[in-house]
């Protein structure tokens, strides 16, 4: 052996430089397990595969990725597999820790940088009084109670000298909070942009920042007292210098990158490389001034401009690689420090007492102010559990504390085990306690059919995924017959996938107010709708909103807005897009389809899926003399009546021509089998009769009614396709009984159940037509039409699971206050 090159746990680790890099291969007689590079590959592979395997097992139990990562580290550590000396010497020899440890901490450095990138400091200043109170209580109550308990135990209980010295540090560490842990847990629970999630994120921002300030100051004091490194004043000056460099040099450089980034195009690789170099320089600067090397990258991450293009590009480039490859190796490295058989029961009991004390203190700190704010008990308890969870950032802090001799290895092991147990218990309990979808179950009728009976304003909410959706939505508004007497109150929501940040946003744009960097990509869409509002002054009242959220929970924003604004229908664009040539662009986006499925399942009102195949967006204006032709295929049921109610409103637009085609089952068998549903048939007949009255009043043969008898699904498809190209827009209902003879056999061929049977036929690639389509689903009440073979059943079983709430008066619900107070929910009023 040559001279020593590293130390591990206070011991010298010697490496033979001649065999330190890579082997020549087994054909030359070299064993791959004797070379650092080969062993690193094996360790990375084993850690990543074991983590994925455990995640696959724990997923049905609703556990987060953190649990599987920590368990993988413990399994590969000395407590389980690592107990075998043969395995340790072969796969995890002590000499390999010099390389794998460096690699693991390099991954942690990038991870902390990404944590900073995803944090939105603006949400701290925009937090309301409720979030501020909860955040302060979640910081001070655990800190005071835990340190007081630690002092009492230190003076009254006989314990080991090492634990006696570190018990105060353990109490402080257990009292700390982390925003990133809260955001990750909410993301795993699909509650990130729920009302509870927004409140939890804002509160954890406050408690987390206070915790980090205390910990950084504590580490600086500890390092100066150890006599290693620099003095406390020098470290404080160095920290201020690093903050100045990042804030006044590096951040302006990154803002310049954002300004020069091409809209709609990928960020230049040179920009990504430059930021990566900044990360390395900040890590070096942090080490140079006596700080932890992860502090500089995290502060730099905080300085990165929020969201796209730069923040989202950095997350897209690094997130998967860091979380799937580098972090598992860190957990394996951490698992080597956990030795369960060496834990003494008395030490275990004392540390666990502090852990439980901190847990209940955080729970009290969140629940008490929540109840004082008139929050429901169950929701307050769920919020307290979320804010009590711990995760990877806490473990990073504890490891640094162990390096500074603030805690010993045994206490660290107990704290890690307690984190796994508590977080693993919290996750399923929160799933049981809080389910936001039940809040959307409404007992009031909120649909167009009901609104038309009262001759009131039409309240609509439209979702926009991309700029191409704008013309078709505007054209649909034009044909919806907005008048001074019966105006349209319209809410347009630009849905943006949350990227480059962990904090969801819901921004209400108000004319005349200052613009925001978060809304730049919505400007073209907002301007188009504001122009339409100006052209229809007094007839259309428009409110523009930008929603940034994960696709898995994006429907929560839509359903909450629909409930709050009392809209009659939510209009969403179909997830597939057709070009102006009529050809499918093959832009089938599964996340957007999931959003539509979740809206269909949870919406507290009617839903319309708009399939624009080009005809709707390219037709000429209604101000011209050319009539706009709308077709309506009516079979039976509430969805068809809702679509017909919308068509009747369109029929009052002077330049719109409506053709109602009633597809009637002409088979005697079907008539006999359906003869018992007299009430449903009577409602259908009344709605058709209302259309006939409107058509008769319009005169001049503007509107037409056709009664067509069909016997089976083949004749239905033939009739629909033969008349499809005769119209600019077709309205159909979504749900029909699959047991009807008119739709027998269509279930197996239903490619898009969210469009229903007829809608799927018109939207399929086999139908050679350019007509646009609006598929309507009337407001659903609990237990309505859940037959196994219907499209409704597909939605119930394929959309993401929703949550629990009731439709109670908004003025007496804490959620109503959250919605009405922009500061309480991280909403911002921004000028377009």
Q: Is residue 819 part of a domain?
A: no
Q: Is residue 194 part of a domain?
A: yes
Domain identity same for 157 and 293:
yes
Q: Is the pLDDT of residue 802 over 50?
A: no
Domain identity same for 230 and 276:
yes
Domain identity same for 568 and 618:
no
Domain identity same for 423 and 493:
no
- The string of pLDDT tens digits covering residues 531-555 is 888 888 888 998 999 888 888 888 8
Q: Is the pLDDT of residue 151 over 60?
A: yes
The answer to whether 280 and 463 are in contact (CB under 8 A) is: no
pLDDT averaged over every residue in the chain? 78
Q: Is residue 109 part of a domain?
A: yes
Token look-up 């067509």 returns: 708
| Predicted TM-score (pTM) of this structure | 0.75
The pair of structure tokens assigned to 424 is: 């693993």
The answer to whether 662 and 643 are in contact (CB under 8 A) is: no
Domain count, the chain: 3
The pair of structure tokens assigned to 391 is: 């995760």
Q: Is residue 371 part of a domain?
A: yes
Residues 39, 755: Cα–Cα separation, whole Å: 53
Q: Is residue 74 part of a domain?
A: yes
The answer to whether 514 and 522 are in contact (CB under 8 A) is: no
Q: Phi first, then psi: give them for residue 451, nearest 5 degrees.
A: -65, -35
Please give the helix or strand (H or E) that residue 769 lies within, else none. none
Least confident span in 366-375, 438-447, 822-831: 822-831
Q: Is the pLDDT of residue 792 over 70?
A: no
- Plot region of 538 (φ>0 → left; ψ -120 to 50 → alpha; else → beta): left
Least confident span in 390-399, 533-542, 677-686: 677-686
Domain identity same for 195 and 270:
yes
Token look-up 């995760």 returns: 391
**DSSP code, position 465:** S
Check which CATH number belongs to the domain holding 494 and give it. 3.40.50.620
Can you tell me the mean pLDDT for 399-414?
Answer: 87
Residue 654's pLDDT is 84
Single residue among 434, 468, 498 that ends a domain in this structure: 434
Residues 415, 394: Cα–Cα separation, whole Å: 10
The residue ranking higher by pLDDT, 28 or 716, is 716
HSE-up of residue 659 (Cα within 13 Å, Cβ side) = 19
Please give the helix or strand (H or E) that residue 771 lies within, else none. none
Expressed in percent and rounded to 5, the helix, strand and coil fractions of the chain are: 60, 10, 30
Domain identity same for 348 and 203:
yes
- End-to-end alpha-carbon separation of the chain, Å? 69
Closest CA to 611 of 421, 801, 764: 764
The residue segments making up the domain with residue 533 are 438-578+592-607
Domain identity same for 557 and 661:
no
Domain identity same for 114 and 248:
yes
pLDDT > 70: percent of the chain: 80
Domain identity same for 483 and 623:
no
Residues 740, 761: Cα–Cα separation, whole Å: 17
pLDDT confidence band for 295 (50 / 70 / 90): confident
């Amino acid at each position: 052996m040559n001279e020593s090159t590293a130390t591990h746990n206070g011991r010298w680790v010697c490496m033979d430089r001649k065999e330190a890099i890579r082997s020549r291969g087994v054909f030359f007689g070299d064993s791959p397990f004797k070379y650092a590079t080969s062993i690193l590959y094996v360790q990375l592979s084993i850690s990543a595969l074991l983590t994925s395997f455990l995640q696959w097992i724990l997923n049905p139990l609703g556990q987060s990725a953190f649990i599987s990562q920590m368990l993988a580290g413990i399994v590969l550590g000395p407590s389980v597999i690592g107990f075998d000396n043969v395995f340790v010497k072969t796969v995890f020899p002590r000499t390999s820790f010099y390389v794998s440890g460096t690699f693991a901490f390099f991954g942690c450095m990038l991870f902390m940088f990404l944590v900073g990138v995803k944090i939105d400091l603006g949400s701290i200043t925009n937090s309301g009084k409720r979030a501020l109170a909860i955040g302060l209580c979640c910081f001070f109550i655990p800190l005071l109670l835990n340190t007081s308990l630690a002092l009492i135990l230190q003076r009254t209980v006989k314990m080991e000298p090492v634990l006696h010295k570190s018990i105060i540090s353990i109490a402080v560490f257990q009292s700390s909070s982390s925003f990133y842990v809260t955001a990750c847990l909410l993301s795993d629970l699909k509650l990130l942009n729920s009302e509870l999630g927004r409140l939890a994120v804002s509160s954890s921002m406050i408690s987390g920042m206070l915790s980090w300030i205390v910990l950084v100051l504590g580490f600086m004091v500890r390092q100066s007292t150890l006599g290693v490194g620099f003095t406390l004043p020098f470290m404080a000056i160095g920290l201020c210098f690093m903050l100045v460099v990042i804030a006044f040099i590096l951040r302006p450089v990154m803002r310049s990158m954002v300004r020069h980034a091409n809209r709609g195009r990928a960020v230049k690789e040179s920009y990504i490389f430059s930021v990566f170099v900044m990360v390395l320089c900040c890590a070096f600067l942090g080490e140079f001034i006596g700080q932890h090397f992860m502090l500089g990258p995290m502060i730099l991450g905080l300085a990165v401009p929020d969201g796209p293009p730069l923040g989202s590009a950095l997350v897209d480039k690094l997130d998967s690689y860091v979380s799937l490859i580098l972090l598992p190796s860190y957990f394996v490295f951490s698992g080597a420090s956990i030795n369960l058989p060496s834990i003494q029961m008395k030490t275990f009991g004392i540390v666990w007492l502090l852990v439980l004390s901190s847990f209940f203190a955080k729970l009290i700190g969140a629940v008490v102010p929540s109840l004082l704010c008139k929050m429901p008990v169950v929701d307050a308890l769920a919020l307290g559990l979320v804010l009590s969870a711990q995760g990877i950032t806490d473990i990073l802090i504890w490891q640094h504390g162990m390096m500074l001799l603030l805690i010993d290895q045994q206490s660290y092991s107990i704290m890690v085990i307690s984190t796994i147990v508590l977080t693993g218990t919290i996750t399923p309990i929160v799933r049981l306690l809080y389910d936001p979808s039940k809040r959307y179950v409404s007992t009031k009728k909120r649909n167009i059919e009901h609104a038309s009976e009262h001759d009131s304003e039409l309240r609509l909410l439209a979702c926009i995924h991309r700029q191409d959706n704008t013309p078709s939505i505007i054209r649909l508004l034009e044909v919806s017959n907005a008048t001074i007497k019966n105006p349209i109150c319209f809410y347009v929501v630009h849905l943006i996938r949350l990227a480059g940040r962990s904090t969801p946003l819901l921004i209400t744009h108000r004319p005349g107010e200052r613009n925001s960097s978060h809304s730049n990509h919505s400007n073209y869409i907002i301007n188009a709708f504001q122009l339409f509002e100006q052209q229809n002054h007094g007839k259309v009242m428009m409110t523009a909103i930008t929603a940034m959220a994960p696709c898995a929970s994006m429907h929560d924003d839509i359903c909450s807005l629909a409930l709050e604004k009392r809209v009659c229908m939510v209009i969403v664009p179909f997830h597939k897009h057709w070009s102006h040539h009529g050809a499918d662009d093959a832009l089938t986006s599964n996340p957007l389809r999931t959003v539509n499925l979740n809206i269909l399942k949870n919406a507290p009102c009617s839903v319309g899926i708009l399939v624009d195949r080009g005809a709707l967006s390219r037709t000429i204006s209604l101000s011209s003399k050319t009539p706009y032709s709308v077709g309506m295929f009516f079979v039976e049921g509430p969805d068809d009546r809702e679509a017909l109610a919308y068509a009747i409103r369109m029929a009052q637009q002077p330049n719109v021509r409506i053709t109602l085609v009633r597809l009637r089952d002409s088979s005697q068998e079907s008539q006999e089998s359906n003869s018992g549903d007299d009430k449903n048939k009577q409602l259908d007949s009344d709605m058709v009769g209302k259309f006939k009255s409107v058509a008769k009043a319009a005169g001049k043969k503007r509107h037409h009614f056709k009664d067509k008898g069909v016997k089976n699904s083949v004749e239905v498809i033939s009739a629909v396709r033969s008349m499809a190209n005769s119209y600019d827009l077709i309205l159909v209902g979504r749900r029909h009984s699959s047991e009807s003879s008119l739709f027998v056999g269509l279930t197996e061929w239903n490619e898009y159940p969210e469009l229903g049977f007829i809608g799927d036929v018109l939207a399929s690639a086999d139908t050679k037509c350019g007509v646009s389509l609006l598929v309507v689903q009337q407001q659903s009440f609990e237990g309505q039409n859940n037959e196994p073979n219907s499209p409704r059943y597909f939605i119930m079983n394929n959309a993401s699971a929703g949550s629990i709430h009731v439709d109670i008066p908004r003025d007496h619900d804490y959620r109503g206050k959250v919605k009405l107070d922009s500061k309480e929910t991280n909403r911002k009023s921004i000028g377009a």
